[in-house]
Amino acid sequence: MKKNILSAIMLGLLCIGPLQAQELFLNPMPQEYTINQDGINTPAQYRVLADDNDALSPAIGLLERVMPGENEEASFRVCIGIKGDKNIKKYARHIPAKAEGYYLKIDKGSITIAANDARGAYYGVQTLAQLLALPQLPLIEITDYPDIPYRGVVEGFYGTPWSHEARLSQLDFYGRNKMNTYIYGPKDDPYHRTPHWRKPYPEKEAAQLRELVERAKANNVIFYWAIHPGQDIRWNEEDRTNLMNKFESMYRLGVRGFAVFFDDISGEGTKADKQAELLNYLDDNFVRPKGDVAPLILCPTEYNKAWANVKGGYLTTLGSKLNAGIQVMWTGNDVVASIDHPTFEFINPLIQRKAYIWWNYPVTDYVQDHLLMGPVYGNGTDIKDDAIAFVSNPMEHAEASKIALYGIAAYTWNMDDYDPHQAWEESIRDLMPANAPYLRTFALHNTDLGPNRYDFRREESENIRPALEAILNSYKHGEAPDQEALSQVEEECRAICLASDKLLTSDENPMLIEEIAPWLIRFKVLGLFGQEVLNALQRQALGQTKEADVAYQKARVLRSTLQWTDKLLNPQAQQPGAECGSKVLLPTLEVLFEIAASRQEKAE
């Protein structure tokens, strides 16, 4: 059955319980499923049937956490295994022949999870965990697997690196949402690049990295550690040994994935033949001999089409000289760009392999006065056979980035059924379930980047854009504005103030509130400004001169407050300030303020 049928039947199940219909959305949506309208109560006790297979430990550990009550004497059975295990032999034909694929079946006396590999078994349990949130477990069969082999995040932005606590939270988030890759490469880590890439990490930082590696393993995430040596690398035996030694030190910390970044550099480090020679050496003498290390990743110097000099031969040199198993990153037609099928038609033939997409969204290191908390859209849904990987470069605000990362997880798993707006709605509920309406109001007006050097823009304030346009058009033609449009914008401005107050005083997600606090403060002022501007206009229309002047003067003060708060908030950023509603809402209110000012002058 298709997705809409699943949702409809689950809605019927929902009628017997207190959950909201939208909470039934599975993230990511499974590839195939059939469902029966009947359901069962979650068993209070169950017994696990599994072969003695160490690879199943993360999946079984997760099962015990999300479904307590394991009892060897229980009649209800949970059968879990990996292809080749005896206990799931009769389900082998149902297992998708895809890496990380799994088959999940819930019937009246048992739950079966039969997977192609260990990560698939873990993902089967993650899907079960979401189903356990329903009032009843649906009788369902799911056949599932990802569209893109490697999916996740590259912490590769400029600016303040994530905190240790933020990274731990991120890794748990990746596990829940079936993202299997995290690449550690913050530009401002001195042991990742110049000046200290040749040196091992100090004891404290090394201990934290070891903890991150262990948390990644528990969430079935490949922890990649990236080195960025290109700015001062010497193409000699000494630096090759330095790099091998650094990799060995990271391997001793538990790292089993490695990347070498040559992005954003100049000089000797940009030579394609030298880069290929070094990467092949690492691949031949470190990655392959270890036997338990993920494929090596290269971020090239020419990492997007706008910067590529095809005639210069950089990309074709990498394509012809790099070992076949080495993966090559690509950001698209520009540093920041949407990814589509033509993207791969250009790059894949040059590098002679499927590109490893580094998507620079929702990163804001070039627009640090903005937050990007809108839906994930604009990428092709026909690229699953073109890419070996798709990872997102997020904001320095780790919690706020989860809204976009939730959508990226859904998109890279099942492109055919990906619904950007549904994923966005669910991401907000996932991040702050108790305050979701307020976070949604905030996010609606914090989605666009503002003017930027890559001309990459997003829709913003879409819920009230038609009303704002209607009001402006009325004044443009000398007509009285539509009262319904005015009421809608007034209500939104009140909702903005309420959302700011509720979120600033909430203790539901302290890490998120700390990140977005400067924008919440400005958001409140923006809402108040909008209310007074509209109040002034309406008082003027009614001929209430005194009341109109009071509202106008308040609006003028709030407008000044907006201007100076923009300078004081988020002052440490390269682009200081905290812009909210900057694409539609604030510009429209500014125009309306000027109209009110002009009318007030005439009235005086």
CATH of the domain at 110: 3.30.379.10
Pick from 574, 570, 588, 366: which is nearest to 460 by CA? 588
Residue 422 resides in a domain: yes
pLDDT attached to residue 7: 42
Place of tokens 């890439």: 197
Does residue 89 sit in the same domain as residue 160? no
Model confidence at 23, pLDDT cuts 50, 70, 90, reads: very low
Say what the pTM is.
0.94
3-state secondary structure of 307: helix
Does residue 120 sit in the same domain as residue 267? no
**Average pLDDT over every residue of 449-454:** 97
Residue 115 resides in a domain: yes
Residue 192: which CATH number?
3.20.20.80
Q: How many domains does the chain have?
A: 3
Structure-token pair, residue 446:
């914090």
Does residue 15 sit in the same domain as residue 114? yes
Bond prior to 28 in cis (omega within 30° of 0): yes
Does residue 24 sit in the same domain as residue 127? yes
pLDDT attached to residue 566: 75
pLDDT attached to residue 603: 76
* Boundary residue ending a domain (144, 161, 188): 144
Residue 453 resides in a domain: no
pLDDT digits (tens, 9 = 90+) for 42-68: 999 999 999 998 999 999 999 999 999
Residue 591 resides in a domain: yes
What does the mean pLDDT of the chain come to?
94
Residue 440 resides in a domain: no
CA dist 390 and 355 (Å) reads: 9
Surface-to-core class of residue 402, CB atoms within 10 Å of its CB (0-12 exposed, 13-18 middle, 19+ buried):
buried
Does residue 215 sit in the same domain as residue 196? yes
Residue 124 resides in a domain: yes
Does residue 26 sit in the same domain as residue 98? yes
Does residue 165 sit in the same domain as residue 124? no
Does residue 242 sit in the same domain as residue 137? no
* Boundary residue ending a domain (88, 114, 144): 144
pLDDT digits (tens, 9 = 90+) for 187-200: 999 999 999 999 99
Place of tokens 């910390």: 253
* Boundary residue ending a domain (86, 114, 144): 144
**Residues forming a β-bridge with 82:** 115
DSSP state of 78: E
Q: Catalytic annotation on 264?
A: yes
pLDDT attached to residue 37: 81
Residue 306 resides in a domain: yes
Domain limits at 543? 465-603
pLDDT attached to residue 12: 38
Does residue 533 sit in the same domain as residue 470? yes
Residue 472: which CATH number?
1.20.58.460
- Distances, alpha carbon 302 to alpha carbons 271, 276, 359, 425, in Å: 10, 13, 15, 36
Residue 423 resides in a domain: yes
Does residue 329 sit in the same domain as residue 375? yes
**Which listed residue (264, 334, 419, 549) is catalytic?**
264
pLDDT digits (tens, 9 = 90+) for 332-359: 999 999 999 999 999 999 999 999 999 9
pLDDT attached to residue 3: 46
Does residue 34 sit in the same domain as residue 175? no
Does residue 47 sit in the same domain as residue 189? no
CA dist 343 and 332 (Å) reads: 6
